[in-house]
Chain A
């Protein structure tokens, strides 16, 4: 992990959606969906982006895949041959060879598979589109991939409707793996699955990473799932990363009051641990009208005068993480209870 060049490094990424009003469609403001986000992912590493809905985690992942055009910033991708390419400004054709190296797993295994295609066609499509191998070679590769995601070969000629949610998600993973990508962007890959199936898919993602050294950018709102898959976690609030730390450090010794509140809100599956929660008042701030100073200050129980006026920046903390809080040094926040 973390050896050599990062697979992906994002610097100063911004995505603003303009708000236009009136007959002349004059620009009256911006929704700052992603506002100056930077991070890097090493080979074989999982970085998770977490936060409440509207925090910009999905927009960030979509910018990286160039499904939306970023407003500013660099998205550097380390290619197989050791070069580094900034994909943020590439044209569609220039982007094409790089697309093979970053693939996506979707949230909804029901709408993300074409119901008219057989499993073999769905998994083999990326190969076909990229002109890799002949029919026989493609079928061999599909068979291999089915084996990797632990689905029987006999399923090859069936259609998606015959499969359960968990099996469909395996099909989606096989398809994402078809081109041997270096990075997989997984946006809520298990949140639509039943608990008993969720565990199977989480384990599969972990196994694949150990086996082929995949890197994951994992976007999720469920902190329990995040704890099971991540090496490092970035917490986002209204378009910005407020804390980035190793999984252990983030859960046990959070440094940002928002992280503390998020952790405190997660229900723990043990009735003997009904804790007194930090219930955050109010709602996530509106990204078109970001509060002054630290965007979290209206909901923060530790906020002081300075938080209302001065925007904090991400600063390194001892132990390796980064936090964006004026009071990071003098606060001692609580994480989740120690494992039993």
Chain B
């Protein structure tokens, strides 16, 4: 495969409020490639959104990227470690939006109600490109057209509250693409949308990715969306990537007990009507009360006392790109 456009190694993003410490992301590693989609899946509190925000260096206080590296191959070929940059410095501002576009879950709160959507898209263009007002407006209309907004010449002058949820999310995607980034981070881009609108938005992301060879990070709790979109998958639980691999292996040969349990417990339209679901016992622990050892051990069906509750399991490489953190697999093979 080609060289990665972004490499995250052992990322640690911690929150240190007065009450203690929350290891929101605790040693995540992954690579992004042009034209490919990495799906990051997990339940609430697993650190998937903080991972995205760490890459963009927009982690809210009292959170901070405290370790690891995020190496970006810039458009001129230079390698830059984002962790080493000043989060409000010129280079980071250039990368944010310019090289890495992002779409968040809430299109309503991410768009301003005071400016027309055209103004907002034009602002994003002006931030990164030297163009005249007229060029920016034409470019904005073109972008709105690209993301499938009907009658873009008119819609460019509408306000976000005049648009439906699906159209707003399309505007968000237009904003993210305004400066022609090479990476798109989409954090639960379709969670607030109806299923038919979700299908439209996923189709749109796929189409644009193909046209522009974008590297996409798709963050979601929805295994269905992952199965639909991702090439590679990282499964997160309480700040750690417990398993990562090609999408087909994750769904058809999952190795980590959490991945296996998660896949068994999701409702499916293919199931028998009124069939009971397999469940994962218990619930996600409070961030201040993380279990020692493997954090999944109190809910795990394969719990080995004296082992799983002692030290965190190291990563074991199963095949070229399939990795798992679980004591069931080859002890201490990798770090």
Contact = CB atoms under 8 A, between A and B. Distances in A.
Asked if chains A and B come from one complex, the reply is yes
A-B CB proximity, top 3 nearest = A267-B224, A199-B277, A247-B273
A337 interface: yes
A73 to B, nearest CB: 26
Interface string A228-268: 11110000000000000011100100000000011111111
Interface of B: 43-44, 164-167, 194-200, 202-203, 221-228, 230, 247-248, 251-252, 261-263, 265-280, 283-284, 299
Nearest to A200: B279
A54 to B, nearest CB: 9
Contacts of B199: 264-265, 267, 277, 279-280
B244 to A, nearest CB: 15
Contacts of B223: 195, 269
Nearest to A299: B196
Contacts of B275: 228
- Count class of interface residues, chain A: 35 or more
Contact of A230 (B252, B270, B274): B274
Contact of A283 (B166, B203, B222): B166
A230 B274 CA distance: 6
Contacts of A40: none
A59 B164 CA distance: 20
A75 B221 CA distance: 38
Contact of A339 (B228, B267, B271): B271
26 contacts: A46-B274, A164-B283, A195-B265, A196-B279, A196-B280, A196-B283, A206-B274, A206-B276, A221-B194, A221-B195, A224-B224, A227-B268, A227-B273, A228-B271, A228-B277, A230-B273, A231-B274, A248-B273, A251-B273, A262-B195, A263-B269, A267-B198, A269-B224, A269-B226, A272-B252, A283-B164
Contacts of B271: 224, 227-228, 339
A198 B228 contact: no
Contacts, number: 157
B203 A52 contact: no
B70 to A, nearest CB: 27
Contact of B280 (A199, A265, A271): A199
Contacts of A284: 194
Contact of A265 (B196, B273, B274): B196
A199 B279 contact: yes
B261 A196 contact: yes
B225 A267 contact: yes
A195 B221 contact: yes
A336 B271 CA distance: 10
Interface in A156-199: 164-167, 194-199
A98 interface: no
A102 to B, nearest CB: 22
Interface in A187-229: 194-200, 202-203, 206, 221-225, 227-229
